[in-house]
């Protein structure tokens, strides 16, 4: 497993670095890769004296103050959503579960929108207030979806998806109501409903980084337990897994990752569905591989999606959530169709 993780991890890191450089190069002002590499290296402590500046000051300002914080934020948001999706799928043992389809993203956006509407997004805890309230709203939403889907002590796939659809519709109506009622904050609330990384500086990256770091490490450490849980709850319990504690902790941490991502970037759907599935197809069902590689894959996926959002119709920027939905919705339909055929084959 370690050799496999090292091999795939090295490939993922190389792809991530190439993605970073390309996303920094492409924009309204094209910048050569060698200039970008030089600017980045020159900002490493102790390396500024070893690089001969071959770029102008405006290029450095564009990279360090505009593009780099945005691209890094996109990588962190993508990693958070993809790891959260892997956590949901592992605990619920459901390939169609992810923060968006279960309504957790919508719940977190309601919490964020309510704070913005009331003008309390920086009250009491400052920049940490919005992620905290988004997390609480996401937890409440997740609990509501699971209770609505429960049937005889079990949570069937169809019930779970239908419950997520119902919750998404209801919470979407709540956000629309807040948008209609607001005047001064209407643009800010609309931001959460469509998702975007525009006008996001270094402070947002600093807010999200500890959430992603702690959440990724925690879920990665639960990879073996998630593998055992895939055998069934009873079998996992016999093998020493504290099933209830595992389920609650993984769901809470996954919800926290989702809420943190939503609080800085708005609702961006289907990343947690698409990326873990692609990783699972590549490396197999081992969550000790799926979780860390989903973080790399999610970062790469969202960085490319954001670059497309700001360049396809430039100078008009496509909302990021719209672009990921164009990719994710057909993928979700394919998975739903495949599961239906599989169940039909088993019953036949």
Compute the average pLDDT of residues 115-135.
80
Q: How far apart are CA 255 and CA 276, in angstroms?
A: 16
In-domain check, residue 291: yes
In-domain check, residue 51: no
CATH of the domain at 149: 1.10.3470.10
What's the domain count of the chain?
1
Q: Is the pLDDT of residue 348 over 60?
A: no
Mean pLDDT for the chain?
86
Q: What is the pTM of this model?
A: 0.88
Those residues with Cβ within 8 angstroms of residue 39's Cβ, 6 or more apart along the chain or in another chain: 55, 59, 60, 63, 64
In-domain check, residue 43: no
pLDDT value for 342? 66
In-domain check, residue 14: no
Compute the average pLDDT of residues 328-334.
82
In-domain check, residue 348: no
Return the ∠ at Cα 130 (arms to 128 and 133), rounded to 5°: 105
In-domain check, residue 21: no
Q: How far apart are CA 281 and CA 293, in angstroms?
A: 12
pLDDT value for 175? 86
Quick one: pLDDT band at residue 262, thresholds 50, 70, 90? confident
Q: Is the pLDDT of residue 269 over 50?
A: yes
pLDDT value for 226? 94
In-domain check, residue 185: yes
Q: Is the pLDDT of residue 346 over 60?
A: no
Compute the average pLDDT of residues 270-287.
91
Quickly tell me which residue has 């700001």 as its tokens.
310
Quick one: pLDDT band at residue 292, thresholds 50, 70, 90? very high
pLDDT value for 161? 79
Domain of 145, in residue numbers: 71-340
Q: How confident is the model over 174-210, as pLDDT tens digits? A: 988 888 887 777 777 777 678 888 877 888 898 899 9
> Could you give the 3-state DSSP secondary structure of residue 77?
helix
Q: How far apart are CA 73 and CA 212, in angstroms?
A: 11
Segment holding 341, helix H or strand E: helix 320-347
In-domain check, residue 44: no
Q: How confident is the model over 60-74, as pLDDT tens digits? A: 899 998 899 999 999
Helices 243-265 and 202-221: crossing angle, nearest 10°? 160
């Amino acid at each position: 497993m370690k050799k496999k993780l090292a091999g795939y991890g090295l490939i993922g890191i190389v792809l991530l670095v190439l993605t970073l450089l390309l996303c920094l190069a492409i924009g309204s002002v094209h910048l050569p890769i060698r200039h970008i590499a030089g600017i980045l290296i020159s900002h490493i402590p102790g390396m500024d004296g070893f690089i001969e500046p071959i770029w102008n000051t405006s290029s450095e300002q564009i990279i360090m103050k505009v593009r780099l914080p945005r691209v890094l934020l996109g990588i962190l948001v993508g990693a958070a959503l993809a790891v959260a999706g892997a956590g949901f799928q592992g605990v619920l043992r459901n390939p169609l579960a992810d923060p968006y389809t279960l309504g957790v993203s919508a719940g977190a956006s309601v919490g964020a929108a309510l704070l913005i509407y009331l003008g309390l997004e920086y009250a009491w805890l400052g920049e940490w207030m919005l992620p905290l309230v988004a997390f609480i709203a996401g937890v409440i939403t997740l609990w509501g979806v699971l209770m609505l889907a429960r049937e005889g002590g079990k949570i069937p796939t169809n019930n779970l998806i239908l419950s997520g659809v119902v919750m998404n519709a209801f919470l979407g109506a709540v956000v629309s109501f807040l948008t209609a009622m607001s005047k001064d904050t209407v643009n800010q609330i609309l931001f959460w409903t469509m998702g975007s990384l525009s006008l996001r500086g270094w402070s947002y990256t600093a807010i999200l980084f500890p959430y992603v770091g702690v959440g990724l490490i925690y879920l990665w450490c639960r990879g073996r337990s998630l593998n055992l849980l895939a055998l069934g709850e009873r079998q996992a319990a016999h093998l020493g897994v504290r099933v209830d504690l595992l389920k609650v902790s993984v769901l809470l941490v996954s919800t926290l990752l989702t809420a943190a991502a939503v609080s800085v970037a708005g609702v961006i759907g289907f990343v947690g569905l698409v990326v873990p599935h692609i990783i699972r197809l590549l490396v197999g069902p081992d969550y000790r591989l799926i979780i860390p590689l989903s973080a790399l894959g999610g970062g790469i996926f969202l960085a490319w999606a954001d670059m497309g959002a700001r360049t396809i119709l430039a100078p008009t920027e496509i909302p990021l959530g719209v672009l990921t939905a164009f990719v994710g919705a057909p993928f979700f339909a394919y998975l739903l169709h495949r599961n239906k055929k599989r169940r039909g084959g088993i019953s036949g």
